[in-house]
Structures are given as structure tokens and as C-alpha cells.
Amino acid sequence: MSVTARARVVELRHGRVGTLHHAGTLEPSAIGKARAIGPVHLGSLGFDGDAVGDTVHHGGPDKAACVYAEARYGAWRSRYGADLPRPAFGENLLLAGTDEERTCVGDVYALGAATVQVSQPRVPCYKPAAFTGERRLTVDLRTTGWTGWYLRVIEPGVVAEGDAARLLERSDGAVSVARLNALRYGDEIDVDGLLTAAAAPGLMPAWRDALTRRATGRGTSDDD
């Protein structure tokens, strides 16, 4: 993807913490976000009006916004024979014109009036499966690599549905979200690929550790 490539915001969502049914219990979660009415300010910790239920694994400056590719919903429909309810992955932004294969960690985008950077893939957890009722989803997120990704905010600004997400910068040696997912969750262990990806610019320390651990036979963690 060249530095002139563009994607587009199809949906923008934010919301407060609610409850999620999981394993016979109710857990705090903000996965069920509502469509925004009009533009929303995106700051260093996320969109105004957005909350995080699990602050250990979600939220913070390096996970200020969660992004999902619009085309993947059609792929899930083909896989399962039915639509997944949105936002199945707790995404703040649904983007047309890009996906995990065309997005690299470290990419810098002009997003509406904000400037953002891709920080890491979204690590699959049980919550999308619990939210949608599709039990296969957690495992299938790993096998497909259709996880979505997180953004950190370089310059705050207002974002609205219909805004362009224009790629400004990509570092030499950048690794795609799809490639990182394949290396971390794939059946085959590609030692050289894992170690090369672990040294990619802009990759979060937790991901560097997970890839290095897998390359050296020490297993990996599901924490992101």
C-alpha cells in the first residue's frame, strides 16, 4: 500500500461500561458500543464518551481506539451463514478500504482531524464470542487473523463517520497485522520470521516478548 492510500470511516462508536454474560456470570464490559451522533473528539486515551471495562487488557495510550475492517463482516457472514451483531469486536472505528493485510504496525494515518499510529493487532479474547453468541469466534479469530487492530494518538482531533483515514508514513521493515497474527497463532513456527517481526519498528513490548518466546520455544502469552 502506497503512502497515498486511503480508507474511510464507515462507523464510529463509543459507549459506557455495561455487563456481558459469560460462563454464567455478569462481567463489566464496554464491548456493546453505540453509533456516534456527529463528530467525536479523539484524545490520547480514546474517544470522548468511550469507556473501558477491562483496563488490564484494553484501553490506555497504546490502545486508544480499536479498529475493524468492514469487509471482514462479509467474510464472517460467508463463514457462519449469518451476520454477526455489530460491534462484534468492540470496535470504535469500522473502516472501509483496508484490512489486516494492508495495515502495518507503526503506520501513521491522518484520521479526520487527528493523527494516529497503528500500535498492535487486537489479541483475541472471549468477549466477542460472548457478545455475539458465536462460540467458535475466539478460535476462528486466531485461525483467520481477522482480529482488527489498535491505534495510539499522535495528534488529537475530531473524527466523524465518512472521514478519510489517509496513510502518511510507513517505516522500512514494517510488518502487517495479518503477518503478525500468522506468526503468533499459526500452526507452523517460523523462527526467522518471528525474530525478524519482533524487531519491527513500533511493535509493542508485549508483542515483542510473545513473538520472541515462541521463537525460542518458551511458549507465548495471550495477554496483549
Q: Distance between CA 5 and CA 168 in Å, rounded?
A: 9
* Residue 109 CB neighbours (<10 A): 25
The more confident residue out of 52 and 37 is 37
H or E stretch covering 76 = helix 70-80
Tell me the CA distances in angstroms from 143 to 37, 45, 147, 186, 216, one per residue in order.
35, 30, 10, 7, 22
Measured CA to CA, the distance from residue 88 to residue 198 in angstroms comes to: 29
Confidence at residue 52, expressed as pLDDT on a 0 to 100 scale? 82
What are the Cα distances from residue 2, in Å, to 136, 179, 191, 214, 220?
35, 18, 29, 31, 33
Domains and their CATH numbers in the chain: 6-171 (2.40.33.20)
pTM: 0.93
DSSP bridge pairs for 21: 26
Share of the chain above pLDDT 70, in %: 92
Give the helix/strand (H/E) hosting 196. Answer: helix 191-198
CB 51 within 8 A of CB 15: yes
The three-state secondary structure class of 93 is strand
1 versus 150: the higher-pLDDT residue is 150
CA distances from 52 to 31, 48, 49 (A): 8, 12, 10
Tally the residues of the chain. Answer: 224
d(CA 74, CA 32): 20
Which whole number is the average pLDDT over 178-194? 96
Query: Residue 223: pLDDT above 60?
Result: no
Residues 6+ apart with CB under 8 A from 138: 124, 125, 126, 128, 129
Report the pLDDT averaged over residues 17-37.
90
**Section 109-138 average pLDDT:** 96
pLDDT at 222: 61
Would the pLDDT of 3 be above 70? no
Q: Sorting pLDDT into bands at 50, 70 and 90, what band is 18?
A: confident
Looking at 22-26, 132-136, 167-171, 214-218, which range is the least confident one?
22-26
Output the pLDDT for position 1: 42
pLDDT higher than 50, residue 2: no
pLDDT at 4 over 60: no
